Amino acid sequence: MPKKCRKYTMKSKDVKKFLLEVSSKLGVDLEQLFGSKPRIEVNETATADIYVLDGRALLARQDETLFFTLDFEEIFSSFPKIVVDMGAVPYVCKGADVMSPGIRSIKGDFEQDDLVIIVDERHGKPLAVGSALYGSEEMKTLDRGKVIKTLHYVGDKLWEHIKGS
């Protein structure tokens, strides 16, 4: 049975727990960006739970995986980037996982399961947020196979929900 959609504002005690979770899982200090008591609205949708801070959908949780959305540009510089060739762009923008042959470069160090930003080689525009299937050093040695699991991409249901709200 599909999950019912609902919206609610997170209670202050839950906000504190959430800020600690984000800090430990993503390494992002939301208190520094939004203060110690930000107003967080939760939009539970069939696609994901979306966390809205200061009117912007910046974080999401899908299948127990917490990740930032493509709208959270302030933290992009803190995360590693996977630069894909232009041939991979249409596939990534349709939700495909990133394959090793499509990678032009890896910027930054990361471990398996860390979040990465997938960008195109021509403009450096963020296309997707993914979870690394390998650490950066091992990924550099691979010449075939899937290396990044795509969690959120330009044009997906989460993107449409964010842009439509």
* pLDDT for position 1: 38
Cα 15 to chain centroid distance, Å, stands at 20
pTM of this prediction? 0.90
What's the confidence (pLDDT) of residue 15?
A: 92
User: In whole angstroms, what is the distance from residue 41 CA to residue 54 CA?
Assistant: 9
Mean pLDDT on 23-51: 89
pLDDT-based confidence at 28, cuts 50/70/90? Answer: confident
Other C-beta atoms lying within 10 Å of the C-beta of residue 75 = 18
Average pLDDT taken over every residue of the chain? 92
pLDDT for the residue 162: 82
Whether the Cβ atoms of residue 80 and residue 114 lie closer than 8 Å to each other: yes
Distance CA 41, CA 83 (A): 33
Q: Give the pLDDT score at 3.
A: 56
Which pLDDT score is estimated for 47? Answer: 83
In the sheet that 56-62 helps form, which strands lie side by side, from edge to edge?
A: 6-9, 40-44, 49-53, 56-62, 65-68
**Is the confidence at residue 165, as pLDDT, over 70?**
no
Confidence of residue 4 (pLDDT cuts 50, 70, 90): low
pLDDT, tens only, 90-124: 999 999 999 999 999 999 999 999 999 999 999 99
Give me the domains of the chain, ranges plus CATH numbers.
Answer: 6-72 (3.10.450.120), 74-160 (2.30.130.10)
Whether residue 133 has pLDDT greater than 80? yes
Taking the CA atoms of residue 141, residue 144, residue 146 and residue 147 in that order, the dihedral angle to the nearest 10 degrees is 10
